[in-house]
Structure 1
Amino acid sequence: MNKHNLNEEISQELLFEVLENQATLDAVRVFLRDKKLSHSASSWKQMIEDRIEPALSSGAITRNDLIGIIREAEEHGNKHVRLFHFGTDYLDSIRGAIKLEAVSAWAKDKGFPGTGEYLFAAYPTHPVVTEVRIGDGGDTDALVVKTARTEYRRKRGVLTEVAGQEVYLAPRVRFRAVDVLKIRRDGLVEVRLSPRAEHPISYSGTANAMLKQVNGLVETTLISELSLSTAKNSFSDLQKKQEVSENFDLYEAQHRNDRGDRIQSSSQAEQGGILKSSVMTEVIKQFTVGDPEAYCEKVRVSYYFGKVKRINAILSEDINEIIFTAGLSRDEYDEVLDAIIKVNSEE
């Protein structure tokens, strides 16, 4: 079953608002193009007024179609991704726990939506589980649990006259944030967190809370953080320059040692990144070569997706975190994540 639970009280205006803050114009263009509908638009205003509204009015697309776009877009990109894993000794029990029958019974017992159902919660008053399902793109046996909540963000300040004085006012607006937990059959666990805009901000605390959601289905005490230190060192390792540069460009690297020394190196995209800069490579070499205590704690890389598109990713100072700063499709997200994990697994 693959249905949307659409509250009829949700207005079309609200649906458009959520579509705009969750999806990308590219995703909507692709959807309309696949429907053989007019799809060009340079702004959300033009997309909604000139493309989406006429298509809805004519019956060429439905509200559920738009919710389908939101449903996929909310899972990928603009996320702080925390990676965990189960040890190999526990894989058989994990695979048994995330089978459809077991997950369906667990979701029903917890009062969550049934497997395959989708609860469209636009701006919930408290965090709510909107979806429990088996399957995620090519990972047909993976477990996915999604939670929606309402966040608030500041828009760009606008110069405004107030009581004879010119001041910048930054309106506080609501934002629908969605966090995603995914458990794969190979034991990898992804916790994809929407960015927090207001304090207190604790991505590690939120990730742990997401993991606790599946208590009773899997034993979460068996989950460990997946260190990305190998990937960070590989991306910044001058000896692996050719190997890494086949798929990635390195634009920023932060190194430190156990004595408290730290350097940050960066290079512009127009120059081909750090590994093509004789100055930056020499700086890194001076800091790291011959120092067994030196290591890379943070990198910013760009992944080659096809011949044109580049996908930026930050492997932060936190041991298991990857930050994607732009909206991505499922294919884009899966490909770049798998590429990073592959680099991380290579010695």
Structure 2
Amino acid sequence: MMSIENNKKFDLKALEAFLAAMSCGSMTKAAVYLGVGQPAVTRMIKELEVAVGFQLFHRNGPRISPTDRGLRFHEEVQRVVAGLRQIGQRAEAIRTEKVASIDIAATPTMAAGLSGPALKLLADDLPHQVNVQTMNAEYVIRALRSRTADFGIAANPIDHAGMVRHVVCESRLVGVVAESSILASSQDPLSLSIFSERRLITVGNAFRIRHAIDQAFQKLDISPPSEFATNTSLNAVMAARSGLGVAIVDPVTAYGVPVEGVKIVPLETRIPYVWELLSDADRALSRHLSAFVDAFRRGCVATVPDCVVKSPGGDAVLADIHQSS
């Protein structure tokens, strides 16, 4: 049992039943997944609804669909249950005297493009248990503050309050075109002027990549005639491969998640892209966590061709960050 601020008690089995119902889409399938009877799942979720004070699912016969509040509650339950599982893993590591796990919260871009290369460089220091959870940047910071992650990896802008910046890397956005495109045969950097007559493909978050692109377009008085907006750079790369237009994406995705059938093209106009490795300021780094900091730095340099590792400032645990790999 565990309590939260309103002093109500929540049974872990009820929370797991809720997660199963959300994933499976029905009480019956959730019961099969959990290996219990369907009435038990229904009862646990009804009791959970009474405890939280709001409806978690809309019910239409055997069919269920989450309410808006249920969806928001789902995010919280996922985080809490993941934290409890991590406690179990850490307890097992203490019992067996094995190296504890590394828990990483990262945006999808960082998880896909950089977590693998960095973890591989740990070699013998790689723990038996590694957890990499993807989420948006705001939730990365939240995971660090709630201690459900050892490290967070995200692109700027990031909330640094109470955080230690271990590694800060800078590169630039790049263009991605289909190999069959006439643009793929050119050896010159891609001029943004081509977007005066071609479809722009990019990530639609107005506060991150898209904001930087819009600023560059405004300076050059460029207005693309059409666009393809998506929520991940990998989607943008795949759209470019299909010939839907020219993509502008982050270099971590472009180089860290290689896709056949496309060519990465440097942009004539430099649009900076910065990402960081962070931890909560109150978390002391063990030897294997410190080793990951160095491995992450080297992994970034090895993955992104023009990556420049910058000094994270005086608040960093590791004072000296070398440029070379």
Give the TM-score normalised by the residue count of structure 1: 0.28
The structure with the greater share of residues assigned to helix is 2
Q: Which has the higher contact order (CA 8 A, sep 6+)?
A: 2
The structure with the greater share of residues assigned to strand is 1
